[in-house]
C-alpha cells in the first residue's frame, strides 16, 4: 500500500497529540507551517509540515520556549542546516576539482 502524501488537520492533530485549534493558531505564528489549501478551504499537510509541527511542539511544550523563542530557534536550526548543506556541496565540488587536477597531472607526467 502506498504511503499517504497529504493529511487532514484531524489526522495531524492525532499524530501530534495537540488540539486542532492549536495547529491553526501555530499556522498564524510560524511561517514554516503552511499547509496546502484546497479550493474548499480545507487544509492538507505534508510529512514535512508534520515534522515542523512536532519540532514546534517539542520546543514549546517540552523545552518551555515561548512562541517567539521557538520561532527564533527554528529559524536558527534552518539556517544551520542550510549552512551545513552548502559546506558539504562545496567540499564535494573541491574534491571533484582536485580529482580532475590529479588526472591531468598524471597525464602530463605520462607524456613527459
Is residue 24 within 8 A of residue 34, CB to CB? The reply is: no
The whole-number mean pLDDT for each consecutive block of 10 residues of the chain, a chain of 112 residues, reads 86 96 94 91 94 95 94 89 73 78 86 79
| Distance of alpha carbon 77 from alpha carbon 25, whole angstroms | 22
Grid cell at residue 1: 500500500
Half-sphere exposure of 105 (CA within 13 A, CB side): 6
Q: Model pTM greater than 0.85?
A: no
The domain limits of the chain are 9-111
Is residue 50 within 8 A of residue 11, CB to CB? The reply is: no
Domain 9-111: give its CATH architecture. Answer: Orthogonal Bundle (1.10)
Grid cell at residue 12: 495531524
Amino acid at each position: 500500500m502506498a504511503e499517504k502524501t497529504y493529511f487532514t488537520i484531524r489526522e495531524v492533530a492525532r499524530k501530534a497529540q495537540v488540539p486542532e485549534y492549536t495547529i491553526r493558531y501555530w499556522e498564524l505564528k510560524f511561517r514554516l507551517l503552511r499547509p496546502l489549501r484546497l479550493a474548499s478551504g480545507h487544509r492538507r499537510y505534508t510529512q514535512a509540515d508534520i515534522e515542523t509541527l512536532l519540532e514546534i511542539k517539542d520546543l514549546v511544550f517540552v523545552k518551555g520556549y515561548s512562541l517567539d523563542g521557538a520561532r527564533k530557534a527554528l529559524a536558527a536550526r534552518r539556517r544551520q542546516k542550510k549552512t551545513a548543506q552548502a559546506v558539504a556541496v562545496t567540499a564535494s565540488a573541491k574534491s571533484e576539482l582536485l580529482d580532475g587536477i590529479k588526472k591531468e597531472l598524471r597525464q602530463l607526467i605520462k607524456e613527459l
